Amino acid sequence: MWVQIPPQALFYLMLDEIHVIYEDKNFLAVYKPANLLVHPVRISNFQFPIFKKPTLVDWLLKHYPEIKNVGDPSTSSGQANLRPGIVHRLDKDTSGVILVARNQKYFNYLKHLFSLYERSPEGRQSHQIKKTYLALVYGELKPKTGVIKEPIRLKSGTIKRTIWKGKMEKQAITEYKVLKYYQRKSVLNQHKSATLSLLRVYPKTGRTHQIRVHLASIGHPIVGDALYGPKKSPSTGSGQAPLDLKRLFLHAESLEFSTVEGSRIKIEAALPEELKIVLRKIKT
């Protein structure tokens, strides 16, 4: 007999996947699973909220309650800080490493580093913070290394971002390197195949949805991207066996930065099992 699990339970099960990669007295490096919001979104942003979804912040406050008052001050309207300890973004759809400050001094320091990274017009400050992602994209991406330099802005009337050539828009820079090409044989015709490319991606600026928008703009959207990808999977549509991927194939693999003391630290998050399974399925 099939038992239907309510959506609330699915989100609480997701909290069990969170784990600490590194911690000291100043900050945590935590693994965030895909499809989990980092922090609560104000209900006023939605017309018809169904239920309050658990977030990474819920998990953090349960296990590290001392961070409750770490972060930016409450809003002018008196609403509490919804992002205690959180110093940078990681999309709901993306898995991987995220940093959390444990005290106000380190929050201010890390927030400053990330603000330099995010507002850098040409990636000039990006040497202070180095982010690395893994992405699986549709098609045979060539050349094997490249740089995408295209400004990004919010698309009017939607939550999507788009490439924009206006002079006033902030520059966005993404470097990439192809690690491997995968040929997926058609289940209908063994003489036909579809190519997927596994990339290591190095964003040099920190715009919202930057990697997703940039890769889609050059004709290689990320596998599993319901927002910027094709309406119908190219692989499934051409007779390929479905990947059965319930998430975006984008993973924040590592984050490197300088500590207050001046030492360099690199935090790494292993590729989650659901993405390893996909790579095993399409292995050449």
Tell me which residues are annotated as active site.
91
End-to-end CA distance of the chain: 38
Distance CA 61, CA 149 (A): 38
Residue 169: phi, psi to the nearest 5?
A: -75, 150
Residue 41, Cβ density class (10 Å: 0-12 exposed, 13-18 middle, ≥19 buried): middle
Residue 184's beta-bridge partner residues?
Answer: 194
Contact call for residues 136 and 94 (beta carbons, < 8 A): no
Number of helices and strands in the chain (H, E): 6, 11
Q: How far is CA 210 from CA 34, 45, 147, 181, in A?
A: 17, 22, 13, 23
DSSP code per residue over 179-236: EEEEEEEBSS-TT-EEEEEEEEEEESS--TTHHHHHHHHTT-PBTT-TTTS-SS-HHH
Distance CA 254, CA 132 (A): 5
